[in-house]
């Protein structure tokens, strides 16, 4: 699964019809294999993004880690956890950076849909 998702995500900035077909095939596989993935069928395509950050969470260099996950119709479709390259001056700054990345992901998904 990780390989298939990696290959599909390489074309996320300019997806073609063949990329959507591969994505649909992957989703059909997950839906047909209980225990391998949980795909719920909802009548809406509402996107929800949850973000979090830990300010100075790394004990060696005091850098923050920002995280977000995106759900569409109640199904997890993307997530990210990344250690920041700069040191945040406050917990509010770390949270704001994480929120900004989550909003960028939500905008991209909105345009994709």
Per-residue model confidence as pLDDT tens digits over 68-77? 888 888 888 8
Query: What are 26-66's pLDDT values in tens digits?
Result: 888 777 766 555 556 666 778 888 988 887 777 777 778 88
Mean pLDDT of the chain, nearest integer: 80
**Same structural domain for residues 46 and 83?**
yes
Domain tally for the chain?
A: 2
**Nearest alpha-carbon partner for 91 in 70, 59, 62:** 62
**Same structural domain for residues 35 and 60?**
no
d(CA 103, CA 49): 8
**Same structural domain for residues 55 and 34?**
no
d(CA 68, CA 99): 8
Range of the domain at 64: 42-113
Which residue do the tokens 């225990």 mark? 35
| pLDDT at site 37 | 54
Segment (H or E) for 27: helix 17-32
């Amino acid at each position: 699964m990780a390989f298939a998702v990696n290959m599909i995500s390489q074309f996320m900035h300019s997806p073609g019809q063949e990329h959507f077909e591969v994505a649909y095939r992957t989703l059909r596989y997950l839906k047909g294999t209980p225990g391998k993935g949980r795909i719920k069928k909802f009548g809406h395509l509402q996107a929800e993004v949850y973000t979090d950050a830990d300010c100075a969470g790394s004990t060696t260099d005091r850098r923050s880690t920002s995280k977000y996950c995106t759900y569409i119709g109640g199904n997890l479709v993307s997530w990210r956890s990344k250690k920041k390259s700069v040191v945040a001056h406050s917990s509010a700054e770390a949270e704001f950076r994480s929120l900004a990345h989550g909003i960028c992901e939500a905008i991209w998904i909105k345009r994709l849909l």
